[in-house]
Amino acid sequence: MEKNIHAIPVRRIDGTDSTLETYRGSVLLIVNVASRCGLTSQYAGLVQLHERYRERGFAVLGFPANDFAGQEPGSDSEIQAFCTATYGVEFPLYSKLVVTGPDKHPLYAWLTQALPEAEGRAAMEAGLKEHGIDPQPSPEVLWNFEKFLIGRDGRVLRRFAPDTLPDDSKLVGAVEAALLEGR
């Protein structure tokens, strides 16, 4: 497993192979996204968060995943078209990947190993159980729109449950604190 998040191979949504090296020294919010989820409207808040802080060295990075109830069935081009047309997404999107289980992408293996528990997970987990969904145990990602906050030094600083909205004061405060670190 890579020791450095910036060296992990990823694929951009246009099919170009890449890494996160471009973002070395930036604060990142890595989010597994889906187009047909009850939380999909969070795209709007993620766009606003990205726009609000991007000039200060912050970026939201969206990683589509179809791990939960088939809520991201589209191809990369369909996902990109949906995100652009519906929410005006301009933050970077990457190729669809797997975020749970034995076939999880190395990025998500790294993230979940670095910080095994999401803040607010218990409440969201209870809500899923009420809907007859048996969530996978930690450190697995719980559902679509789980958020990992990465500091300028590439460390995972915080991990937020999927139902933590992009404008939640805990998340925004964590982003602002991370932007002040190392400056």
Using the predicted structure, report yes or no on whether residue 183 has a pLDDT greater than 90.
no
Q: What would the pLDDT profile of 47-56 be if each residue is shown by its tens digit?
A: 999 999 999 9
Check: CB of residue 24 under 8 Å from CB of residue 153: no
HEC assignment per residue over 111-155: HHHHCCCCECHHHHHHHHHHCCCCCCCCCCCCCCCCEEEECCCCC
Average pLDDT over every residue of 44-69: 97
Task: Establish whether 83 is a catalytic residue.
Answer: no
Residue 36, domain extent: 5-180
> In the structure, what pLDDT confidence band is assigned to residue 2 with cuts at 50, 70 and 90?
low
CATH of the domain at 126: 3.40.30.10
What is the domain count for the chain?
A: 1
Q: What percent of the chain has pLDDT over 70?
A: 98
A 10 A CB-CB count for 3 gives 8
Provide the token pair at 151.
């500091």
| pLDDT, greater one: 33 or 2 | 33
Using the predicted structure, report yes or no on whether residue 182 has a pLDDT greater than 70.
no
Percent of the chain as helix, strand, coil, to the nearest 5 = 35, 20, 45
Q: What is the mean pLDDT of the chain?
A: 95
pTM of the model: 0.96
Catalytic residue among 37, 44, 115, 128: 37
- DSSP annotation of 22: G
pLDDT of residue 3: 76
Q: What would the pLDDT profile of 26-38 be if each residue is shown by its tens digit?
A: 999 999 999 999 9
Using the predicted structure, report yes or no on whether residue 9 has a pLDDT greater than 70.
yes
147-150 and 156-160 strand pairing: antiparallel
